[in-house]
Amino acid sequence: MTSSAPTETLSAAETHRYSRHLLLPEIGTAGQLKLKAAKVLVVGCGGLGCPVLQYLAAAGVGTLGLLDFDTVDESNLQRQVLYATADVGQPKALAAAARLGAQNPFIHLVPHQFALTTANALDLLAGYDLVVDCSDNFATRYLVNDACVVLGKPLVYGAIFKFDGQVSVFNHQQGPTYRCLYPEPPAPGEAPSCAEIGVLGVLPGLVGTLQATEVLKLLTGVGEVLSGRLLVIDALGMRFQTLRFRAVPAEQQRTTLETDYAAFCGEAPPTAPPAPEISAAELRAWQASGRPLQLLDVREPHEHAQRHIGGRLVPLGQLAGALAELPADMPTVVHCASGVRSQRAARLLLEHGFHEVYSLRNGLADC
């Protein structure tokens, strides 16, 4: 992604601030002016979005869009380094914009405090030159990819899983897209989020920094970007591997948006009502009373082996296939590590006719 340098100039203060860029012949004043003129949308202001935003703001990208409808939670602070304890409860997009504005007063920050949907994706992305996917769910990844394909926008992708990460560039100069690499989403439960299984705190910083690097290369036209290549990071072994992949034939490319991305990815829509919850204290009282109870642990076997509170182990990914083995007329309490997987499992049971189902609030954290 290259363009001729804009006629706008750098002020004396900007020239001093970006002097280390200006010293690089590959970037220089022309490249810095391209950064100043660029408009980049970052989808997600969480673990990946924080380092992406910090480095793009520091580099002088002129307009940064911050898309996130969530608020800062204390559990975010282990890895989402833009935020402080005082930000807990604040909208992420606003808290991040305030911090970035203090970091670099020469850029324009545009918070977008809403969820990305098929109804607003094309209008929002049309106002930006490039999109960075820092989302944490497959429905958003496919939606962002498809909107970028429809609009002809390059997309810088990043993803994390426990100790592993991925980075690539999609839709660059008619290159491969996310669907070329992943034509179909994983089955529900096969790729749990970090809220369910955890993540090494520094991993988003590593992956996000690599994403920011690809953005700067795309905007300035230097180097070779990761189009058609997937960079795979193993943080435990500190190994980096590059896998090549090709674009699918043009006639097989998707040129419209899905009707329902949550349904396409097998995810419960955000508007689905949560399952009833029960506290750890209420569960203990129930067990002490002797009232019949079916207790289900939907974590993975290695988690169960480390610690459990009894009941039957049925990992979330296997629950749909085990429904016939479970009594639907017995009151059921489902638990996991934090309450995320148990909510999904409880809703699944309720959808299949189980009469009285509860999710253990906060999972084992309160037990």
| Three-state SS annotation for 179-201 | HHHCCCCCCCCCCCCHHHHCECC
Nearest to 56 by CA among 185, 195, 255, 219: 219
CB 218 within 8 A of CB 156: yes
Residue with tokens 């498809």: 146
Query: 38-265 belongs to which CATH class?
Result: alpha beta
- Catalytic: which of 134, 180, 265, 336? 336
> In the numeric block, which tokens belong to residue 124?
């929002």
User: Measured between alpha carbons, how far is 18 from 36 in angstroms, rounded to an integer?
Assistant: 11
Looking at the chain, the domain(s) classified CATH 3.40.50.720 span 38-265
Q: Show Cβ contacts of residue 365 under 8 Å, excluding neighbours closer than 6 positions.
A: 337, 338, 339
Q: Give the angle subtended at the CA of 119 by the CAs of 172 and 179, to the nearest 5°.
A: 35
Strands 294-297 and 332-335: what pairing? parallel
Q: Is 50 one of the catalytic residues?
A: no
Strands (E) across 235-307 are located at: 239-244, 277-278, 294-297
CATH 3.40.250.10 fits 277-360, yes or no: yes
User: What pLDDT does residue 188 have?
Assistant: 66
User: What pLDDT does residue 301 have?
Assistant: 84
Residue with tokens 């930000």: 87
> In the numeric block, which tokens belong to residue 136?
């944490």
Q: Where are the alpha helices (DSSP H) in the chain?
A: 12-17, 19-22, 28-37, 49-59, 92-103, 121-125, 138-151, 178-181, 194-197, 203-220, 261-264, 280-289, 301-306, 316-322, 340-351
Looking at the chain, the domain(s) classified CATH 3.40.250.10 span 277-360
Strands 239-244 and 277-278: what pairing? unpaired
User: Measured between alpha carbons, how far is 106 from 37 in angstroms, rounded to an integer?
Assistant: 12
pLDDT tens for the chain, 367 residues long, are 544 445 589 999 999 999 999 999 999 999 999 999 999 999 999 999 999 999 999 999 999 999 999 999 999 999 999 999 999 999 999 999 999 999 999 999 999 999 999 999 999 999 999 999 999 999 999 999 999 999 999 999 999 999 999 999 999 998 999 999 998 888 766 677 777 678 999 999 999 999 999 999 999 999 999 999 999 999 999 999 999 999 988 767 777 898 888 888 877 554 567 899 999 999 999 999 999 999 999 988 877 888 899 999 998 878 988 999 999 999 999 999 878 789 989 999 999 999 899 999 988 877 8
Q: Is 367 one of the catalytic residues?
A: no
User: Measured between alpha carbons, how far is 205 from 196 in angstroms, rounded to an integer?
Assistant: 20
User: What pLDDT does residue 271 have?
Assistant: 52
User: Measured between alpha carbons, how far is 182 from 210 in angstroms, rounded to an integer?
Assistant: 21
Tally the C-alpha atoms within 13 A of residue 301's C-alpha that lie toward its C-beta.
Answer: 1
Q: What is the largest CA-CA distance in the chain?
A: 78
- Catalytic: which of 45, 134, 194, 265? 194
CB 167 within 8 A of CB 160: no
- Residue 210: which H helix or E strand, with range? helix 203-220
Per-residue DSSP letter, 2: -
Buried b (16+ CB within 10 A) or exposed e, 110-142: ebbeeebeeeebeebbeebbbbbbbbbbbbbbb
> In the numeric block, which tokens belong to residue 220?
């300035």
pTM summary value:
0.76
Q: Which residues pair with 199 in a beta bridge?
A: 162
